[in-house]
A and B are shown apart, each in its own frame.
Chain A
Amino acid sequence: MLKYTLRRILGMIPMLFLISVVVFTLALAMPGDPFSGEIDPNNTDPEYIEEMREKLGLNDPIHVQYGRWITNFVQGDFGKSTRYKMPVSDLIAERMPNTIFLGVTSLAITYILAFAMGMYAGRRPYTPGDHFIGGFNYFGLAIPSYIAGVFAIYLFSFQLGWIPFQGSVDITLEKGTLDYWISKIHHVITPAIVLGLLSTASYTQFLRNDIIENSRKDFVRTARAKGTPERKIYNVHILRNSVIPLITFLGFDIVTLVNGAIITEAIFTYPGIGQLFLSSVTNQDYPVLMTLTMMFSFLVLLGNLIADILYGVVDPRIRLD
Chain B
Amino acid sequence: MEVLTEKNTKQTPSKPPKSMSPWAIARRKFVRNKLAMVSSFFLLTVMIMSFLAPYITTIDITRVNIGQMSLPPSGEHWLGTDKSGRDVFVRLLYGGRVSLTVGIAATALIVVFGTVIGSIAGYFGGVVDSVLMRFTDFILNFPFLVFVIVLNAILFGKLSGVWVLIVVISVLGWGGVARLVRSKILSEKENEYILAAISIGCKPSKVIIKHLLPNVLSTIIVQATILFATMIVAESGLSYLGFGVPTEVPSWGNMLSTSRDPDVMQNMPWTWIPPAVVLTLTILSINFIGEGIKDALNPKSYR
A-B interaction: yes
Give me the interface of A with B, judged by CB distance under 8 Å: 15, 18-19, 22, 26, 29-31, 138-139, 141-147, 150-151, 154, 158, 255, 258-259, 262-263, 266, 277-278, 281-282, 289, 292-293, 296-297, 299-301, 304
Given contacts A138-B287, A259-B145, A146 and B153 within 8 Å (CB-CB): no
**Closest residue on chain B to residue A260 by CB atoms:** B145
CB <8 Å contact, B153 and A281: yes
A22 neighbours in B (Cβ, 8 Å): 142
- Given A142-B284, A150-B265, A277-B146, A300 and B141 contact (CB-CB distance below 8 Å): yes
A139 touches B146 (CB 8 A): no
Q: Which residues of B contact A150 (CB under 8 A)?
A: 256, 259, 265, 272, 276
CA distance A293 to B287 in the complex (A): 31
In angstroms, how far is the closest chain B Cβ from the Cβ of A270?
A: 14
Knowing A158-B266, A297-B142, A299-B143 touch, does A144 contact B259 (C-beta < 8 A)?
no
Expressed in whole angstroms, the minimum distance between the Cβ of A7 and any Cβ of chain B is 14
CB-nearest residue of chain A relative to B148?
A: A259
Residues facing A in B280-303 (CB within 8 A) are 280-281, 283-284, 287-288
Q: How far is the CB of B153 from chain A (nearest CB, A)?
A: 6
Which residues on the A side are within 8 Å of B154 (C-beta)?
Answer: 26, 29-31
Q: Known A150-B265, A266-B241, A289-B150; judge A143-B143 contact (CB<8 A).
A: no
Q: Are A19 and B280 neighbours in the complex by a CB distance under 8 Å?
A: no
CB within 8 Å of A: which of B230-275? 233, 236-237, 240-243, 256, 259, 265-266, 272
Which of A15, A147, A293, A304 meets B256, CB within 8 Å?
A: A147
Cα separation A154 to B272 with both chains bound (whole Å): 12
A139 touches B280 (CB 8 A): yes
Q: Which 3 pairs, one residue from A and one from B, show the smallest C-beta to C-beta distance?
A: A142-B284, A142-B283, A296-B143
Partner of B287, one of A18, A19, A141: A141
Count how many chain B residues have C-beta atoms less than 8 Å from C-beta atoms of the other chain: 36
Which one of B147, B243, B279, B284 contacts A147 once the chains associate, using CB atoms below 8 Å? B279
Q: Which of A141, A146, A263, A300 contacts B143 (CB 8 A)?
A: A300
Let me know if A262 and B284 touch, CB within 8 A. no
- Residue among A142, A154, A278 making CB contact with B241, cutoff 8 Å: A278
Q: Check A143 against B140 for contact (C-beta < 8 Å).
A: no
In the bound complex, do residue A138 and residue B146 qualify as a contact, i.e. CB atoms below 8 Å apart? no
| Min CB gap A35→B, angstroms | 16
Distance (whole angstroms) from the CB of A144 to the closest CB of chain B: 5
Docked Cα-Cα span, A250 to B290, in Å, equals: 25
Q: How far is the CA of A105 from the CA of B240 in the complex (A)?
A: 25
Chain B residue numbers with a CB within 8 Å of A277 are: 146, 149
Is B138 an interface residue when CB atoms closer than 8 A count as contact? yes
Question: How near does chain B come to A262, taking the closest CB pair, in angstroms?
Answer: 6
A19 cross-chain contacts in B, Cβ below 8 A: 138, 141-142
Taking CB atoms, residues of chain A closer than 8 Å to B237 are 144-146, 263
Tell me if A144 and B142 are in contact (CB < 8 A): no
CA gap between A68 and B256 in the complex, in Å: 43
Given contacts A139-B284, A142-B287, contact A259 B147 (CB under 8 A): no
Known: A26-B150, A281-B153, A282-B242. 13 other contacts (CB 8 A): A18-B138, A139-B280, A144-B279, A144-B283, A146-B241, A146-B256, A147-B276, A262-B145, A262-B146, A277-B146, A293-B146, A296-B146, A304-B141
**Chain A neighbourhood of B141, CB < 8 A:** 15, 19, 297, 300-301, 304
Bound: A278/B240 CA distance, A: 13
Contacts of A282 in B (CB 8 A): 242
Q: For B132, what are the chain A residues with a Cβ–Cβ distance below 8 Å?
A: none
Q: How far is the CB of A282 from chain B (nearest CB, A)?
A: 8
* Chain A residues whose CB sits within 8 angstroms of the CB of B265 once the complex forms: 150, 154
Q: Which of A143, A146, A154, A281 contacts B150 (CB 8 A)?
A: A281
Do B280 and A144 have beta carbons less than 8 Å apart? yes
Q: Known: A15-B137, A19-B141. Contact between A147 and B150, CB under 8 A?
A: no
A255 CB contact (under 8 Å) in B143, B279, B283: B143
CA distance A307 to B171 in the complex (A): 24
Q: Write out the residue numbers on chain B whose beta carbons fall within 8 Å of the beta carbon of A146.
A: 236-237, 240-241, 256
Q: How far is the CA of A63 from the CA of B3 in the complex (A)?
A: 76
Contact across chains for A297 and B143 when beta carbons are under 8 A apart: yes
A151 to B275, CA, bound (A): 13
Q: Taking CB as reference atom, which chain B residue is nearest A301? A: B141
Q: For the complex, is B144 an interface residue (Cβ under 8 Å from A)?
A: yes
Give the shortest distance, in Å, between A103 (CB) and chain B (any CB).
14
Nearest-CB distance from B281 to chain A (Å)?
8
B109 at the interface (CB under 8 A from A): no
The 8 Å CB contact of A263, one of B241, B256, B276, B283, is: B241
A293 touches B147 (CB 8 A): yes
Expressed in whole angstroms, the minimum distance between the Cβ of A203 and any Cβ of chain B is 16
Q: With an 8 A cutoff between CB atoms, is B151 at the interface?
A: yes
B179 to chain A, nearest CB (A): 11
| A15 and B143 within 8 A (CB) | no
Across the interface, do B284 and A144 meet the contact criterion of CB distance under 8 Å? no
Q: Are A304 and B241 in contact (CB under 8 A)?
A: no
Complex: A8 Cα to B276 Cα, angstroms? 42
Q: How many angstroms between the C-alpha atoms of A65 and B281 in the bound complex?
A: 50
Bound CA–CA A142/B39 (angstroms) = 13
Shortest C-beta distance, A283 to chain B (Å), equals 11
The smallest C-beta distance from A309 to any residue of chain B, in angstroms, reads 15
Contact pick for B280, options A30, A143, A263, A289, CB 8 Å: A143
In the complex, which residues of chain B have a beta carbon less than 8 angstroms from the beta carbon of A289? 150
